[in-house]
């Protein structure tokens, strides 16, 4: 059974930073596609950042230059470093992964991922 567990969310002021973590059991981030999605109240869930099975990365335009996705291979943890946070980044953040090849991984489509965590809330507010 695959389990993904996010942590690291919280309340932060605009311009601040947070690092989200996603721990996995039964799933290896190093060899698979995995990433971060987010959902704000009243909005659809959107892809934020994906890391491919080869280590390539893609980001949604609104977070480019501010967010960084990475893994700790030894600990099997997926991270999302979020800097220069804005109020628009307020959302529930979800970790997701798949064991399948994702040909369209750069499109950040949530339908390509079968494993999901329960989410961690990020609130950016002064």
pLDDT surpassing 90 at residue 105: no
Average confidence (pLDDT) over 91-103: 95
Scan for tokens 């190093």, then name that residue.
30
* pLDDT at 10 (0 to 100): 98
Give φ, ψ of 121 to 5 degrees.
-85, 135
Give residue-wise pLDDT tens across range 43-93: 999 999 999 999 999 999 999 999 999 999 999 999 999 999 999 999 999
Do 44 and 64 touch, CB atoms closer than 8 A?
Answer: no
Q: Are strands 10-12 and 120-124 parallel, antiparallel or unpaired?
A: parallel
Average confidence (pLDDT) over 14-42: 96
The runs of H, that is alpha helices, within 65-125 are: none
- Taken in order 125, 17, 94, 87, the sign of the CA dihedral is positive
* pLDDT at 27 (0 to 100): 97
* pLDDT at 104 (0 to 100): 86
pLDDT surpassing 90 at residue 110: yes
Average confidence (pLDDT) over 86-107: 94
Scan for tokens 């965590």, then name that residue.
117
Residue partners of 90: CB distance under 8 A and separation at least 6: 40, 122, 123, 124, 125
Tokens of 90: 């307020």
Distance (Å, whole) CA 19 – CA 17: 7
Mean pLDDT of the chain: 96
* pLDDT at 80 (0 to 100): 98
* pLDDT at 107 (0 to 100): 87
Do 110 and 38 touch, CB atoms closer than 8 A?
Answer: no
């Amino acid at each position: 059974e695959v389990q993904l567990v996010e942590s690291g969310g919280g309340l932060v002021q605009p311009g601040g930073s947070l690092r989200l973590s996603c721990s996995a059991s039964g799933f290896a981030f190093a060899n698979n596609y995995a990433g971060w999605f987010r959902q704000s109240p009243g909005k659809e869930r959107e892809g934020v950042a994906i890391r491919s099975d080869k280590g390539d990365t893609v980001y949604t335009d609104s977070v480019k230059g501010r967010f960084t996705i990475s893994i700790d291979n030894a600990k099997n943890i997926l991270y999302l470093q979020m800097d220069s946070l804005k109020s628009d980044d307020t959302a529930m953040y979800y970790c997701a992964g798949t064991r399948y090849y994702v040909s369209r991984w750069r499109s950040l489509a949530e339908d390509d991922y079968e494993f999901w965590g329960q989410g961690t809330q990020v609130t950016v507010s002064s």
